[in-house]
C-alpha cells in the first residue's frame, strides 16, 4: 500500500467519529489517546492491514500540527500545537517538574473572557534557571484562546 494512502487512513482515524471501521480497529488494537491518536501495533505476529498503516504513522505525525479548538484533544506537552515543536522539547525543565505530563490543553488552562489562566501543576517550586523557561512559555501562550470547535489537525508536509 502506498504511503499517501496509509497517511490518509491515519488522518481519517483522527478526524472521523465513531465509524464502524474505526470501532473494529479499536476493538482489535485498542483506542488511542483522546480517541484521536491511533495506538501503535506492537504484536510482532500480526501482519494485518492496520500494522502496515501504523508503520507510516511516525512520518505522518511529523507532517501535522494540531489546531486548538476547545482543547479537549490536544495534549499540552506532547503535541505540536503552538510553535513548530512540542512544548516538552522546547521547555524540558518545565515539563520535567509538571505533574500533568499527559494532560490536554483544557486541563492545563482555564479561560475567563479573553484571558487564560495556566496551571502547570508543578511538583515542586521552580529553580531560578527554570523561571526563565516559564516566562518564555507564558509569553508563547499569551495569544492562545479556546473556541467552541473541536481540536483538529493541520497538514504541514509537502509530501
pLDDT score, position 47 = 56
Same domain, 9 and 47: yes
What is d(CA 45, CA 39) in angstroms, rounded to the nearest whole number? Answer: 17
pLDDT score, position 158 = 67
Same domain, 101 and 142: yes
Same domain, 11 and 44: yes
What are 70-96's pLDDT values in tens digits?
A: 999 999 999 999 988 999 999 999 999
75 domain residue, yes or no: no
92 domain residue, yes or no: yes
128 domain residue, yes or no: yes
pLDDT score, position 24 = 80
Range of the domain at 116: 87-153
Same domain, 100 and 145: yes
76 domain residue, yes or no: no
Q: What percent of the chain has pLDDT over 90?
A: 42
25 domain residue, yes or no: yes
What are 88-143's pLDDT values in tens digits?
A: 999 999 999 999 999 999 999 988 887 889 999 999 999 998 999 999 999 999 98
Same domain, 107 and 144: yes
pLDDT score, position 11 = 80
pLDDT score, position 20 = 85
pLDDT at 34 over 70: no
Structure-block grid coordinates of residue 74: 490536544
Same domain, 94 and 51: no
Looking at the structure of the chain, the number of domains it has is 2
pTM for this one? Answer: 0.82
Q: How far is CA 65 from CA 61, 70, 81, 142, in A?
A: 8, 15, 6, 19
Could you say which of 23, 49, 64 is where a domain stops?
64
69 domain residue, yes or no: no
pLDDT score, position 42 = 66
Burial class, 73, CB count within 10 angstroms (exposed 0-12 / middle 13-18 / buried 19+): buried
What is d(CA 15, CA 38) in angstroms, rounded to the nearest whole number? Answer: 11
**Mean residue pLDDT across the chain:** 85
81 domain residue, yes or no: no
103 domain residue, yes or no: yes
As a whole number, mean pLDDT of residues 19-43 equals: 73
Same domain, 92 and 59: no
Same domain, 60 and 91: no
Amino acid at each position: 500500500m502506498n504511503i499517501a494512502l496509509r497517511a490518509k487512513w491515519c488522518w481519517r482515524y483522527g478526524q472521523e467519529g465513531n465509524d464502524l471501521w474505526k470501532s473494529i480497529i479499536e476493538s482489535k488494537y485498542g483506542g488511542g489517546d483522546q480517541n484521536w491518536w491511533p495506538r501503535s501495533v506492537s504484536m510482532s505476529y500480526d501482519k494485518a492491514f492496520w500494522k502496515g498503516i501504523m508503520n507510516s504513522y511516525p512520518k505522518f505525525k511529523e507532517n501535522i500540527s494540531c489546531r486548538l479548538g476547545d482543547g479537549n484533544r490536544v495534549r499540552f506537552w506532547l503535541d505540536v500545537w503552538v510553535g513548530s515543536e512540542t512544548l516538552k522539547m522546547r521547555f524540558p525543565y518545565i515539563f520535567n517538574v509538571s505533574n500533568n505530563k499527559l494532560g490536554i490543553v483544557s486541563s492545563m488552562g482555564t479561560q475567563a473572557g479573553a484571558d487564560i489562566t495556566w496551571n502547570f501543576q508543578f511538583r515542586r517550586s521552580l529553580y531560578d534557571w527554570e523561571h526563565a523557561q516559564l516566562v518564555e512559555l507564558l509569553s508563547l501562550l499569551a495569544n492562545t484562546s479556546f473556541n467552541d470547535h473541536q481540536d483538529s489537525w493541520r497538514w504541514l508536509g509537502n509530501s
